[in-house]
């Protein structure tokens, strides 16, 4: 796996690069916007870790250019602020995930692994499955046109499931993607949250979208159940 890290704070960049290399990733580092874009356009990376505030060329502009070139590369954005408007702008520009500074390396590593593991993704802002509609920007969910209120964890779980329609997701995959490193070991947490989701998303409707794959995990589908 080849990663590109674009970060002008040298201390942060070197610390992150060292940690990722210890995890056996090949890591290239750029310390400013223009050289970051030059490297991103010259090589095929599996993942780009992108700071937003960069000298010479902003992270958001690099992201736009990267997405013009490729949909395949995963982009994890680092931001000093937890600003919603900025997040929306960058999600629209094609960011896959966010990490707010300061962060622990372990947290970064969890996100990096999850992004690299999940493979090709659907980058549409509005996801559909049958009569279920999920808007990633407003984080609103509707079924048969009716708004469904979800907690932020329920939303994150549903988004992960709907982003991977037809694919069986193990409990481990779900935990790695939806929970973070502060999560401690209750393996039935996934089942508990899926139960909450079913109550809101599936129970009021005849067609069930959330499927249990016995002994493995969960899967979403709008095909009739066998
Ligand atoms: Ca910066």
pLDDT in tens, the chain (226 residues): 899 999 999 999 999 999 999 999 999 999 999 999 999 999 889 899 999 999 999 999 999 999 988 777 899 999 876 667 777 777 777 888 888 888 999 999 999 998 888 766 666 778 899 999 999 878 899 999 999 999 988 999 999 999 888 889 998 888 877 876 556 666 688 999 999 999 999 999 999 999 999 989 999 999 887 6
Question: CA 98, CA 95: separation in Å to the nearest integer?
Answer: 8
Domain membership of residue 187 as a residue range = 126-220
In this predicted structure, what is the pLDDT of residue 225?
Answer: 74
pTM above 0.85, yes or no: no
What is residue 183's predicted lDDT score, i.e. its pLDDT?
62
Q: How far apart are CA 84 and CA 62, in angstroms?
A: 20
Decide if 115 contacts 74 (C-beta within 8 A): yes
Alpha-carbon Rg for the chain, nearest whole angstrom, is 18
**Separation of 50 CA from ligand 1 center, angstroms?**
9
109 and 120 Cβ atoms separated by less than 8 Å: no
My answer on whether 6 and 70 are in the same domain is yes
- Cα(8) to ligand 1 centroid in Å equals 5
**Residue 81: closest CA among 65, 102, 60, 109:** 102
9 & 68 share domain: yes
What CATH number is given to the structural domain containing 185? 1.10.10.10
- Same domain? For 12 and 113 the reply is yes
pLDDT at 47: 94
Q: Kindly state whether residues 64 and 140 are assigned to the same domain.
A: no
Q: pLDDT at position 177, please? A: 78
User: 198: CA distance to ligand 1 center in Å?
Assistant: 42
Q: Residue 73 C-alpha to ligand 1 middle, in angstroms? A: 21
Q: How far is it between the farthest Cα atoms of the chain?
A: 57
Are both 71 and 131 inside the same structural domain? no
Q: How far is the CA of 53 from the centre of ligand 1 (A)?
A: 4
Last residue of a domain, one of 51, 83, 118: 118
Task: Label residue 124 exposed, middle or buried (CB < 10 Å: 0-12, 13-18, 19+).
Answer: exposed
Same domain, 108 and 134: no
Query: Does one domain contain both 133 and 52?
Result: no
Q: What is the distance in A from the centroid of ligand 1 to the CA of 43?
A: 22
The number of residues in the chain equals 226
Ligand 1: distance of its center to the CA of 31 in Å?
Answer: 9
Cα 78 to ligand 1 centre (Å): 9
Strands (E), 66-115: 74-79, 97-100
Q: How many domains does the chain have?
A: 2
Q: How far is the CA of 48 from the centre of ligand 1 (A)?
A: 15
Q: Per the domain annotation, does 48 fall within a domain?
A: yes
* Distance from residue 58's CA to the centre of ligand 1 (Å): 9
> Does residue 110 sit in the same domain as residue 151?
no
Position 225 in a domain: no
Strand-strand pairing, 169-170 and 146-148: unpaired
């Amino acid at each position: 796996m080849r990663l590109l890290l674009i970060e002008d704070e040298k201390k942060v960049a070197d610390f992150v690069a060292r940690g990722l290399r210890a995890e056996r990733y090949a890591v290239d580092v750029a310390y400013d916007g223009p050289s970051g874009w030059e490297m991103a356009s010259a090589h095929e990376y599996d993942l780009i870790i992108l700071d937003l505030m960069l000298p010479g060329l902003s992270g958001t502009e690099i992201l736009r250019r990267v997405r013009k070139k490729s949909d395949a590369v995963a982009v994890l954005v680092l931001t000093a602020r937890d600003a919603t408007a900025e997040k929306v702008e960058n999600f629209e520009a094609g960011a896959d995930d966010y990490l707010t500074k300061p962060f622990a390396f372990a947290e970064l590593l969890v996100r990096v692994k999850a992004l690299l593991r999940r493979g090709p993704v659907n980058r549409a802002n509005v996801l559909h499955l049958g009569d279920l509609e999920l808007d990633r920007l407003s984080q609103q969910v509707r079924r048969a046109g009716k708004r469904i209120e979800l907690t932020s964890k329920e939303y994150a779980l549903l988004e992960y499931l709907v982003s991977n329609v037809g694919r069986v997701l193990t409990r481990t995959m779900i935990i790695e993607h939806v929970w973070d490193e502060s999560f401690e070991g209750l393996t039935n947490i996934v089942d508990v949250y899926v139960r909450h989701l079913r109550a809101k998303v599936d129970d009021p409707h005849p067609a069930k979208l959330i499927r249990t794959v016995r002994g493995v995990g969960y899967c979403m589908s709008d095909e009739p159940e066998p």
